[in-house]
Amino acid sequence: MNPLERYLPLVDDPDAFLAACDRSLPSVVRVNGIKATRDRVTDALEAEGVTFEPVDWHDELFRLPDRSPGTNWPYFHGWLHGQEEVSVLPGLALDPEPGERIWDACAAPGSKTTQIADAMDDEGTIVANDSNLGRLSALRHNTERLGITNAAVTNQDARNFSLKPLAFDEFDRSLVDVPCSCEGTCRKNPDVLDEWTLGHVEQIAGIQKSILTRAVQATKPGGTVVYSTCTFAPEENEAVLDHVLDAEDCELVELDLPLETRPGVTEWEDASFDESVRKAHRVYPHHNDTGGFFCAKLRVGEEVSA
């Protein structure tokens, strides 16, 4: 069975959902404001004869219908970075400010880290962490190519991340874009559906709960934690939020996103979740011609400590 069929009760148009998931995903690039402006990028792409289409909901994104992102000189020189449209949503939700201390808990290969650095005008500190040592080379390469100087790369298990090596003891904001079953990426990587198992979903959900819990603990009272995945599975989305809401002093807050989305679900199979998970956002491929995604924003309470 196609694992996507288990989510048909959650979508408004099952046929359109399945058809969208079966189409290939356009290549998309994001303008890197640390090195170039939107106008400089468009002039360069036009001069090189690169066909591009502006993304209507985000001024700094362009679709490249005819080629892959890394085949033009503006990309090589760090003016552009390949990033799927929906993957910019967590950075927008995080809304970082210059000078803040940010934790990107699962940062490699660095698309969201570099987006956050751009939003911060490369000021402040981003601790870009990943537990996979092999992926850190891509993270470091991307930060260097894009001219990022405010990111410190660390290699820890985010579930028990230690702040002791750092010069501070809490973060202003944390991004938790966790490893997941990746069903929402099937338009660019159809193999994820062939490799999908319910056992993997259930196993990785436990890891996700631990990482999000640690992020809440490591973020200052009143600070922001953004949780995101590229899966449709409620076990990895609403169930993770429900667990952390029960275990830690935090709350979900309203979040405006510039795409058509659906609210989080409060019931799935035999499980029910906190009503506030409706404040989370589900992104389905047939609504915006994108990949699938899930994004939620939490505020840390006063009783949480690092």
Which of helix, strand or coil describes residue 302?
A: coil
Catalytic residues, by residue number, are: 230
What backbone phi and psi angles, to 5 degrees, belong to 121? 55, 30
- What string of DSSP letters covers 173-231? EEEEE-----GGGTTT-THHHHS--HHHHHHHHHHHHHHHHHHHHHEEEEEEEEEEES-
User: Whole-model pTM above 0.75?
Assistant: yes
- Among 241, 253, 242, 207, smallest CA distance to 105 is for 207
pLDDT value of position 154:
97
pLDDT for 67-113, tens place per residue? 778 888 999 999 999 999 999 999 999 999 999 999 999 999 999 99
pLDDT value of position 26:
87
Dist. CA 170–CA 195, nearest whole Å:
38
- Among 177, 174, 175, 152, smallest CA distance to 165 is for 152
- Among 254, 167, 166, 156, smallest CA distance to 214 is for 156
pLDDT value of position 65:
85
What backbone phi and psi angles, to 5 degrees, belong to 25? -100, 130
- Among 177, 94, 174, 93, smallest CA distance to 127 is for 174
pLDDT value of position 304:
55
pLDDT for 166-187, tens place per residue? 989 999 999 999 999 999 999 9
Tokens of residue 214, six digits? 């640690």
Domains of the chain: 3-25+84-300 (3.40.50.150), 26-83 (3.30.70.1170)
Contact 280, 264 (CB under 8 A): yes
Place of tokens 């994820």: 192
Dist. CA 98–CA 229, nearest whole Å:
25
Phi-psi domain of 183 (left: phi exceeds 0; alpha: psi -120 through 50; beta: other): alpha
Dist. CA 233–CA 140, nearest whole Å:
31
Enumerate residue ranges in the chain where pLDDT < 50.
Answer: 305-306
pLDDT value of position 71:
83
Cα Rg of the chain, angstroms? 19
